[in-house]
Structure 1
């Protein structure tokens, strides 16, 4: 945590601002969207994960099957960081991802996380990463079963690691207090995969992924501001 302690009311206001600028668990509440247990969603033989991959393929018009697979990992990594990184940065108790459910639309889109509301007893970078990676690992194994890269591939793991930087960059850009770059360094170190996220305070944006989420393969898409392809020949054209 790099933010000075504040009153509960001020902290609540800051977290509500995070809800406004990020897709956090409290921002998508629709009784018509099924809430699926996380282990059920990650079952490669079940109906949810394969449909989620197909939904990405259809939405992006991808020819590469790997694109939809990796984008599922991107989506969960992004939502999980949005649900937990602000709490660590601002000094709030870390939400628990144990017993997690996810909201899945009828089209198959992973639209949001549904934590139980429980909190972790410890709010350290190590505890943050331990629970996020514990949730992420079964997803990587399942995506591999569906034809994706090996579970330890950086094509998967670059997504939660890269997303922690993006979340903190957005918090800093929105004027929320605390040293976002220092927090990014703390959390990046806890992942043991520091090479997957490049941080440079002299650059704008100061966070940059070193792996690709695959969305650029969409014929009509652009590039993320923190994209690893920021200086590629195809981007300059």
Structure 2
């Protein structure tokens, strides 16, 4: 844990707010918020519309892309909301009793965690996994892969490395790679994120978020880093 004064710690957390889509920084004025459990109801109004919004935005022919991208979006927002605090030694926002903000188009815009507390790596993962499981079950009910599929779980796990890589690049203190390894070990899904300290970027996902299918290019840490389509594109 990094030792510093409360004022310095608060300043570091604010810098994370500047770098990432975090709960307190995503504008949600006028947007409806709903409990996470209601969002994850496959028979409700929110999740099916969110899937369709991804399908429409990407122009996808295959419905799997929209389903997996919902998992990607939550995994990214959840990692952005929790990993910086864990890395810096601040109380970590809890994803229990979570509410989410949704745009008029149906996009999952922001997370609204209710509380924050100090946690271990194992507690952090348990909290995130308990929030993620209902989403994987609901996406499966809508026609997606089975709930345990790496196509879902690669998103929150892979996002851990991406968040910490961004913090490291911004010059925030602490050993980002050590934190990534600690959190990755707590997931028991180490095969979903490859960490190579001598590589830039050092984290690399081992699963695909599907966004490349929309013609939007590849993320720096994309699993397709050496694919024929990327090399020729």
Asked if 1:61 is matched to 2:59, the reply is: yes
Question: How big is each residue's C-alpha offset from its partner over 1:98-128, in whole Å with a ceiling of 9 and x where there is no partner?
Answer: 1100000010000100111x123x4210000
Structure 2 residue runs of 5 or longer lacking an equivalent are: none
Q: Tell me the distance in 2 between the aligned counterparts of 1:62 and 1:31.
A: 30
Q: TM-score, normalised by structure 1?
A: 0.97
* Contact kept in structure 1, 2:28 and 2:110, CA below 8 Å: no
- Matching residue of 1:44: 42
Q: Tell me the distance in 2 between the aligned counterparts of 1:112 and 1:101.
A: 9
> Where does 1:1-237 land on structure 2 (aligned, <5 Å)?
1=1, 4-116=2-114, 118-120=115-117, 122-218=118-214, 220-237=215-232
Q: Tell me the distance in 1 between the aligned counterparts of 2:204 and 2:45.
A: 34
RMSD: 0.7
User: 1:39 deviation in Å?
Assistant: 0.1
Other structure's SS at 2:226 match: coil
User: How many positions carry a matched residue from both structures?
Assistant: 232
Q: TM-score, normalised by structure 2?
A: 0.98
